[in-house]
Amino acid sequence: MRFHRVLASAAVALSSCVPVAWSTGFGVNAHIPSNAVADRIQSGGIEWVRIDFLWSMAEPEADVYDWSVYDALVDRLEARGLKIYSGLGSTPAWATNGPETSGVPEDVDQWREFCYLAARRYAGRIRAWGLWNEPNLGQFWNGTRQDYIDIILVPGAEAIRLADPSALICAPDLAHLSSADWADWLRATIDAAGDSLDVVTQHVYPSDGWASEVTYDLETGGPFPFSPPAVERVLQDSGWWRRPFWLTETGVESERWGERRQATFVGELLSQWFDPGRGHRSWVDRLFFYEMNDGPSPSSYTFGLIAGSPDFTPKEAYLTYSRFIEEAAVDDAEMVSFDVPRFFRQGEVVRSEITFRNTGTTSWSTEELTALSAEIDSLSWSVVVEQLAAGESVGPGEIHRFNLVITPPAAAKGIGSNPVLKLRMERETSWPFGDLLRREVVLTYLDPPEVINDPAPVVVGRGRSATLTVEAAGFEPLTYRWLRNGIELADGDLWSGSDTAELTVTALSYEVAAFYQCIVSNQVGEAISAPAAVFIDQPPRHGSGRVTPNPVNRPPQTDLGGIRFTGPPERR
């Protein structure tokens, strides 16, 4: 089956419950935290949690899914107002000829479908998805760099974007080791797949236990031509500079360096990158310490900010982190809604809106030189933002709606160039902050495809047939491509009409129960329908969340859209 890259075209709305005193710049690695650990994360003011989402656990056999651990975990973290960064990875034994957990998937569509189902199940609940952990280390990834890009990163990003356009795509979460060739990996990843990413991520640990070494690796690099470069230099050379960067692992072990030294590391690193007056040292947008709690014994690992079970006693490093968060002055922003269209007519002036929530601890105002930065990479287009009015202020937790006026070129010479509109909050005196929003815009003199009516969800008895219909308009001829769980369909024994506006699913069984979407295309571009679920009107096998082999278990009550999910632990 072939898969076509899809440009999702929908207005995105994100729900959020942001405690006003917290800033979303701070996170922690927690694998699969228990209730007691989640309570410590919340009470410390830490808002982002990086968890492990293991393919091998969620799909232990081909097409047999068990979401029970992840359903409970997302509920647990969400109930505490915590935001989730979920790292996908760990190949099941059945999906590879290589080693279990690190082997290259034999069929890229199996990985693609898993990513789609994960993102669809937790759409709007898991804020960010990482695509594999430290793929430049053989213990985590047994394939080549190109295998990672072609089989994991690009297909996974496409599937997640299709299932949840609001989610952030993060990668490559590299181990910052010269022996693991991190610099070439990072350059190659951004060059080949930068358009697939929202955030570049990296892991940097000190060998001497001091924060200054992490800062040195990030912004200075080695003094000799053959020394590894600074991360900053690689981001500049690759064109990622001034786009979101997260340090998603860093830390020191208290057993090796002592609890006082561990706390000093935490406090100094935070001060070097998040204290006021740090100047250009503002380009680490989020920081995740490794990790929240120690292992079951001192001989396992002691990176934890708190001790291990059963008491999870806070260490000095946890108290240092919590105090810094409580007092920090941090700029941050989260997009709430976005209505910029993809298609424009020649000379057409379009007014659009974008709404941000202030998720930092500072206020936005003209006196503080806060503005929405908007640029488009074409001289023939223009974009103007109506900024904050004089005397207007947006406090922590509050939202503000910015109006945009976008004018494409009047001449047809701009047709076919498809420039990218980029939007991000910034202060004139500091680094941009919040998530970067990117939207490819298309200039056309023809009617683009538009989905008028999405296919409706279907609940049908086993063995019966179901029909899904999409209604679309636009410059003729229109072409249609149906997807099942993000994978393009072809007519056969189970499906017919895969290239028409009406798809028929025959001999309905668990094999065909799934999410279906239709891509409608014409000479101008493409549009995609909302996903429609086909459910079997028969309860799944008794148990908490286990489904055989239907990945789309029918939800309780009558809400056919409430599909959800998340993942376990992984040691460095």
What is the pLDDT, as a whole number, of residue 300?
A: 76
Q: What is the mean pLDDT of residues 229-253?
A: 95
Q: Which CATH number fits the domain that encloses residue 491?
A: 2.60.40.10
What is the pLDDT, as a whole number, of residue 3?
A: 29
For the chain, the maximum distance between any two Cα atoms, rounded to a whole number of angstroms, is 70
Cα distances (angstroms) measured from residue 434 to each of 186, 413, 547: 22, 34, 38
What is the pLDDT, as a whole number, of residue 299?
A: 65
Top pLDDT among 73 and 464 is at 73
The reply to whether 188 and 321 lie within a common domain is: yes
Q: In whole numbers, what is the pLDDT of the chain averaged over residues? A: 87
Q: Is residue 152 very low, low, confident or very high in pLDDT (cuts 50, 70, 90)?
A: very high
Element (DSSP H or E) covering residue 40: helix 35-43
Q: What is the 3-state secondary structure (H, E, C) of 53-118?
A: EEHHHHCCECCEEECHHHHHHHHHHHHCCCEEEEEEECECHHHECCCCECCCECCHHHHHHHHHHH
**Domain C-terminal end among 270, 299, 327:** 327
506 assigned to some structural domain: yes
State the Cα–Cα distance between residues 86 and 57, nearest whole angstrom.
14
What is the pLDDT, as a whole number, of residue 538?
A: 63
Q: Is residue 413 very low, low, confident or very high in pLDDT (cuts 50, 70, 90)?
A: low
Domain limits for position 51? 28-327
| The pLDDT of residue 162 is above 90 | yes
The reply to whether 322 and 355 lie within a common domain is: no
Nearest CA to 288 out of 173, 124, 430 is that of 173
Q: What is the mean pLDDT of residues 400-421?
A: 85
| The pLDDT of residue 18 is above 50 | no
The reply to whether 470 and 424 lie within a common domain is: no
State the Cα–Cα distance between residues 36 and 31, nearest whole angstrom.
14
Amino acid at 519: I
Q: What is the DSSP string of 367-416?
A: TTTEEEEEEES-TT-EEEEE-PPTT-EE-TT-EEEEEEEEE--SSGGGTT
568 assigned to some structural domain: no
The reply to whether 389 and 281 lie within a common domain is: no
556 assigned to some structural domain: no
**Domain C-terminal end among 308, 327, 346:** 327
What is the pLDDT, as a whole number, of residue 1?
A: 32
What is the pLDDT, as a whole number, of residue 436?
A: 86
The reply to whether 377 and 292 lie within a common domain is: no
State the Cα–Cα distance between residues 161 and 95, nearest whole angstrom.
23
The percent of residues above 70 in pLDDT, for the chain, comes to 87
Q: Is residue 459 very low, low, confident or very high in pLDDT (cuts 50, 70, 90)?
A: confident
Q: Which of 2-16, 409-423, 529-543 has the lowest mean pLDDT?
A: 2-16
Q: What is the mean pLDDT of residues 349-357?
A: 94
- How many structural domains compose the chain? 3
What is the pLDDT, as a whole number, of residue 15?
A: 28
Q: Is there a contact between 118 and 71 (Cβ–Cβ < 8 Å)?
A: no
The reply to whether 364 and 513 lie within a common domain is: no
State the Cα–Cα distance between residues 153 and 400, nearest whole angstrom.
34
20 assigned to some structural domain: no
Helices (H) and strands (E) in the chain, counts: 12, 33
The reply to whether 191 and 340 lie within a common domain is: no
Element (DSSP H or E) covering residue 451: strand 450-453
Top pLDDT among 19 and 503 is at 503
Q: Which CATH number fits the domain that encloses residue 108?
A: 3.20.20.80
| The pLDDT of residue 346 is above 90 | no
The percent of residues above 90 in pLDDT, for the chain, comes to 69
Listed in sequence order, the residues at least 6 apart from 79 whose beta carbon sits closer than 8 Å to its beta carbon are: none
Cα 55 off chain centre by: 16
What is the pLDDT, as a whole number, of residue 553?
A: 46
The reply to whether 372 and 487 lie within a common domain is: no
The reply to whether 459 and 524 lie within a common domain is: yes
436 assigned to some structural domain: no
What is the pLDDT, as a whole number, of residue 378?
A: 86
The reply to whether 276 and 316 lie within a common domain is: yes
Amino acid at 126: I
The reply to whether 220 and 161 lie within a common domain is: yes
| The pLDDT of residue 125 is above 90 | yes
Top pLDDT among 529 and 221 is at 529
566 assigned to some structural domain: no
State the Cα–Cα distance between residues 537 and 553, nearest whole angstrom.
10
Top pLDDT among 53 and 445 is at 53
Q: Is there a contact between 442 and 414 (Cβ–Cβ < 8 Å)?
A: no
Query: What does the pLDDT look like over 139-148, one tens digit per residue?
Result: 999 999 999 9
Amino acid at 76: R
443 assigned to some structural domain: no
Element (DSSP H or E) covering residue 566: none
Query: What does the pLDDT look like over 76-113, one tens digit per residue?
Result: 999 999 999 999 999 999 999 999 999 999 999 999 99
552 assigned to some structural domain: no
Query: What does the pLDDT look like over 192-213, one tens digit per residue?
Result: 999 999 999 999 999 999 999 9
Nearest CA to 507 out of 493, 487, 517, 496 is that of 493
Q: Is there a contact between 541 and 28 (Cβ–Cβ < 8 Å)?
A: no
**Domain C-terminal end among 277, 302, 327:** 327
Q: What is the mean pLDDT of residues 301-313?
A: 93
State the Cα–Cα distance between residues 176 and 202, nearest whole angstrom.
7
Nearest CA to 173 out of 248, 231, 228, 244 is that of 248
What is the pLDDT, as a whole number, of residue 17?
A: 30
What is the pLDDT, as a whole number, of residue 368?
A: 84
Query: What does the pLDDT look like over 540-550, one tens digit per residue?
Result: 443 444 444 44
Name the 3-class secondary structure at 192: helix
The reply to whether 296 and 345 lie within a common domain is: no
